[in-house]
Structure 1
Amino acid sequence: MNDQIFKTPIEYLKGVGPQRAEILKKEIAVFTYGDLLSYYPFRYIDRTQFYKIRDLNLDLPYIQILVRLKSFEHLGDKRTKRLIAQAVDDTGEIELIWFQSISWVQKNLHLNQVYIIFGKVTFYNGKAQMAHPEMELFNKEQSNRGNLSLQPVYSSTEKLKQYSLDSKGIQRLMASLLDVCLSQIDEVIPTYLIHQYKLNKRAEAFQNIHFPADANTLKRAQNTLKFEELFFIQLKLLRSKLLRTKKFKGNVFENVGEKFTEFYENILPFQLTNAQKKVIKEIRADTYKGIQMNRLVQGDVGSGKTVVALMAMLLAIDNKFQACLMAPTEILATQHYHSIKSLLKDEFVSVELLTGSTKKKSRRIIAEQLELGTLSILIGTHALIEEPVKFKNLGFAVIDEQHRFGVEQRAALWRKNIIPPHVLVMTATPIPRTLAMTLYGDLDVSVIDELPAGRKPIETLHLFENQRLRMFGLMKQEIAKGRQVYVVYPLIQESAKLDLKNLMDGVDVMSREFPLPDYRISIVHGQLKAADKAFEMQRFVKGETQIMVATTVIEVGVNVPNATVMIIENAERFGLSQLHQLRGRVGRGADQSYCILMSGTKLSREGKIRLETMVKTNDGFEISEIDLQLRGPGNIEGKQQSGIMDLKIADLALDQKILQEARKCVIKILDEDPELLKSEHEGLKSFFAKTENGITLDKIS
């Protein structure tokens, strides 16, 4: 792309000017010609087909009908005011309904005129209705000249509409823009790939995405632009990985020494799974190469990622390096600290915890030990990356739940040593393969897909409000066996907007059903002070309380093998990923565990699918794929901080095949031409060098 014209400020486009430019910037982040060009329609009106009223049914998508307005009628009082118009064609009658902008509708729509109406059809008492239809006066002469086959529809806002920038207004700007810039759009995808995948030329793709002649033309333009978008994301990620291996040397861990061997052979209280052994071998191979390791370890809740991380840290210690583990919350950091301390036994290796709550005196001692090199493993929150924390020789860094840290926070860890430490990223949030390729495409990926021996699958039940007695019965049955129970609520205080059970009401109900002195209850939520939260947690961990009533603060970081029941109130309000994380708090011992999903009887389609999925499977990766289908990638954790997930047209839930093909092409190109020096890659190199954050190999000595 000739990038100069696309960097032109939007105010210089014919029909924009200073005022409209300001509103375009504020409302839809369109600052330049290039921004407007990639502001794609979100749907299209098919002008090739008009439906007759007699043929309407509920299964139809958004459709258009040619009707004549027959009458208007106001109904309801001031609070429930609505406007109803009767409209007809030669086969029947349809009601058009407006609940808002009533005066505008009456002022601008005229009886006995013929309109094209567009919207979703519903039925009430057997009569067809359409609420807030899009209305366009039918122009017979224009129709005879041949209207667009597919008319683009652009997202607009109330403020944009005040400047005549509704969908039609944006469409006019787009036509003006294409007139100016179409001839200046350069090819960037190599010609041989355009032929191989039957893609459009780039200019043709932009023309056809905004003004397609028919459905096939549109489909080809969409595929072209999706391929290009995903191709450049993969090129950025994989080239970054290639550059890192050239630029960043890694410390070589030559020895599998005394600490690692002693721990594995004599201290580790259980057998590693084959999946854990495989990942440790991959880490061992990485740290021996002399290239900085960047590896992602994915594993379901309870799959044993912490043990793998610990053994990798012992490998670093055997090679005279220090190690650290950074977690996103104090609860999780503390949990890792206690877990690792209990695995190591006594003073096998020196381990300390550093969080925001660490006292000043302890901080000073930790800082001295770190600089002297007498402290081997430091576990903590982002306190680890603060300026006073200086390692003597940091060789290995573990980052847990990376998506909760910003890019700068992660980079600060790298700067803790002259040669950047090897980095192991852990996540208990199973990531769909396509999302992992995009979020973590520059990392090597390991998967722990095996639970430790002796673990029984968690039994999940979905109960409605009228089955609450059954829930209480199961709780009492498990507590009688000496087990413990979590009860999780979505909110701390009552919300007028959402009809949810709140935690404090829940405490009252539980206190009546499970009274003192036979039962004791812990209460944990995000508004408690850290010390109070820790106190309540410890009471539950020690078995002094049988029931923990909590908010999702316990989603990660609590490991109580004796807890066998997880009850999630208003489960339909939680995302699949969160439900799966919460369920993973139980089933951590050898006893049969249960997850009870409580919900109201009125469930949305998505809510029903989520709960059915949880009952059907315990497989986190299967759940994550369904979650991606339901929510889309924009809502999956990690998107905000990746810097590469602002997809304009591709959809990771739907375009997995295109992503895989694009990645395959990039891998082949970088294998054969890592410097992009071949003539057929000239456009590719030029475009990539101009993109934001584009890095060229020749910048690196």
Structure 2
Amino acid sequence: MNISLLKTPIDYLKGVGPNRSKLFKKELNIFTFQDLLSFFPYRYVDKTKYHKINEIQNTKSEIQLIGKIVDIYEVGIPRKKRLIAKIKDDTGFIELVWFKSHKWIKENLKLNKNYIIYGRPNLFNGTYNIPHPELELYKKETLKLRSSLDPIYPSTENLLKRGITNKVIRSIIKDLLLEINSKFIETLPEYITKEFNLLDKNSAIVNIHLPKSNKILMESIKRLKFEELFYLQLQLIKKNINRKEKIKGYDFKKVGNVFNSFYNNHLKFSLTNAQKRVLKEIRNDLGSNAQMNRLLQGDVGSGKTIIAFMATLIAIDNNFQACIMAPTEILSVQHYNNYKHICKSLNINIQILTGSTKA
């Protein structure tokens, strides 16, 4: 596929135009075709089930039903007018309610026609209604072609006010996928996709937006997550290599008396195998004449602070000062109190400096 196609401004996509493109840019930070394809759903709704009107209960979840519009009317004073469509199935009646865009909706509703209705029921004065539902003319021949999983995209209040509903976003993305016609360039080597049993790029992009089944949706999510983390990891490795080549650090070759004295005489517990492994890696980094840039990750209480303290002892053994920083003053005081007696016995001058420390 021509890469330049993905860089095409969103204005030129069918169904968008100048006004909608401004909203996409302002509200969703979508500027190009690529941005739109990377605008993933945050959840999916199973639309294989249809409720009967008498089955509706007070729920926070959306439901789907099939019914015929038997009446359309407006109620209320002009500024608080609302449009109501009465829906009937073989078990009862329910009202669909719109508080805005009355004229456009009323002109497009068809009396005595069956619709597929999707929305969240609302209980008002002991009666259920569905405010601002999604509607689709019921056609038996196209019912089987409907996607069983409908994507739900992030939105904003301003988009909904301007009529850019989830249905509109879904339709625009579908049009873009049809225009591109599954011509995405594979970004992972074949040996990686085979080793980790990953879906191809084309199938992953299409099925993240228009999933054919829950199984292929899960495979699409796995593929796209893997790709994102894979290239993030490559970027971090590349930065690490460049840093070690270009930025030289101090060479801490010696593990001397201070470190050994603490380890042999003051450490009251045995280090875990993981702590020993990480400490060895840190010692190698500090003795490599390259700047160390390391993230030590572990659960609370897993022993990260003691490793940081022992790393400072290596610096002290090589005639350097060292500093342990904490995110809060309370934690810094806690660390200071934990180590000041040990430092005194090791003849190390230890001080604490916080935002409230006076000059």
**TM-score band, normalised by the shorter chain?**
0.7 to 0.9
Q: Residues 239-638 of structure 1: matches in 2 within 5 Å?
A: 239-265=238-264, 268=266, 271-275=268-272, 278=276, 280-298=279-297, 301=300, 305-345=304-344, 348-359=347-358, 362=359
Q: Provide the rounded CA distance (Å) in 1 between the counterparts of 2:147 and 2:269.
A: 64
Q: Which amino acid aligns with 2:227?
A: E
Q: In structure 2, what is the equivalent of residue 102 of structure 1?
A: 99
Q: CA deviation at 1:150?
A: 4.8
> What is the Cα deviation at residue 168 of structure 1?
2.8
Contact (CA 8 Å) 1:97, 1:129: kept in 2 or not? no
Deviations 1:2-24 (A, max 9, x none): 54332333223344333322211
Question: Is the Cα–Cα contact under 8 Å of residues 2 and 186 in structure 1 kept in the other structure?
Answer: no
In the aligned structure 1, how far is the partner of 2:172 from the partner of 2:9? 14
Amino acid at match of 2:201: R
Partner Cα separation in structure 2 for residue 219 and residue 355 of structure 1? 48
Could you tell me which amino acid in structure 2 is paired with residue 274 of structure 1?
L
Q: Is the 8 A contact 1:45 1:153 kept in 2?
A: yes
Residue 35 of structure 1 and its aligned partner are, at CA, apart by 0.5
SS of the aligned residue for 1:229 comes to: helix
Q: How many Å apart are 1:55 and its aligned residue?
A: 6.3
Contact 1:86 1:96 in 2 (8 A): yes
SS at match of 2:324: strand
When normalised by structure 2's length, the TM-score is 0.75
Q: Deviations over 1:291-347 (max 9, x none)?
A: 544444445555654443223212111112221222223343344344433331279
- Normalised TM-score (structure 1): 0.42
Q: Give the 3 Å change call, closer, same or farther, for CA 162–327 of structure 1 in structure 2.
A: same
Q: What are the superposed Cα offsets for residues 126-181 of structure 1, whole Å, 9 maximum, x if unpaired?
A: x9946436231424387379555555443333322444422232233223423443
SS at match of 2:24: helix
CA contact (8 A) 2:82 2:100 kept: no
Cα deviation 1:16-46 (Å, max 9, x = unaligned): 3333222111111112211011112344555
Where does the alignment leave 5 or more consecutive residues of structure 1 unmatched? 363-701
**RMSD (Å), alpha carbons:** 4.3
In structure 2, what is the equivalent of residue 68 of structure 1?
68
CA deviation map 1:381-439 (0-9, x unaligned): xxxxxxxxxxxxxxxxxxxxxxxxxxxxxxxxxxxxxxxxxxxxxxxxxxxxxxxxxxx
Cα 1:147–1:328 shift into 2, 3 Å: closer
Deviations 1:331-365 (A, max 9, x none): 43344344433331279223333444444xx4xxx
Q: Does 1:32 align with 2:32?
A: yes
Q: Aligned AA for 2:271?
A: N
The Cα of 1:187 is off from its aligned counterpart by 1.1
Give the counterpart letter for 1:11 in structure 2. D
**Aligned CA distance change for structure 1 residues 293 and 13 (closer, same or farther; 3 Å):** same
Which residue does 1:185 correspond to in 2? 184
Q: Is the 8 A contact 2:66 2:138 kept in 1?
A: no
Change (3 A) 1:242 1:47: same
Matched, 1:18 2:18: yes
Amino acid at match of 1:271: K
Q: Look up the match of 2:205.
A: 206
Question: Is the Cα contact below 8 Å between 2:249 and 2:291 reproduced in 1?
Answer: yes
Letter in 2 for 1:237: L
1:85-234 matches, cutoff 5 A:
87-90=87-90, 92-93=91-92, 95-96=94-95, 101-102=98-99, 104=101, 108=106, 112-119=112-119, 129=128, 131-132=130-131, 134-140=133-139, 143=142, 146-148=145-147, 150-182=149-181, 184-234=183-233
- Summarize the Cα distance change of 1:132–1:355 in structure 2 as closer, same or farther, 3 Å threshold: same
Hey, what's the Cα distance between the residues in 2 that align with 1:102 and 1:73? 12
Deviation at 1:188, TM superposition (A): 0.8
Code of the residue aligned with 1:20 in structure 2: it is R
Number of the residue aligned with 1:481: none
* Alignment partners' CA distance in 2, 1:21 and 1:339: 58
1:178–1:137 Cα change, 3 Å:
closer
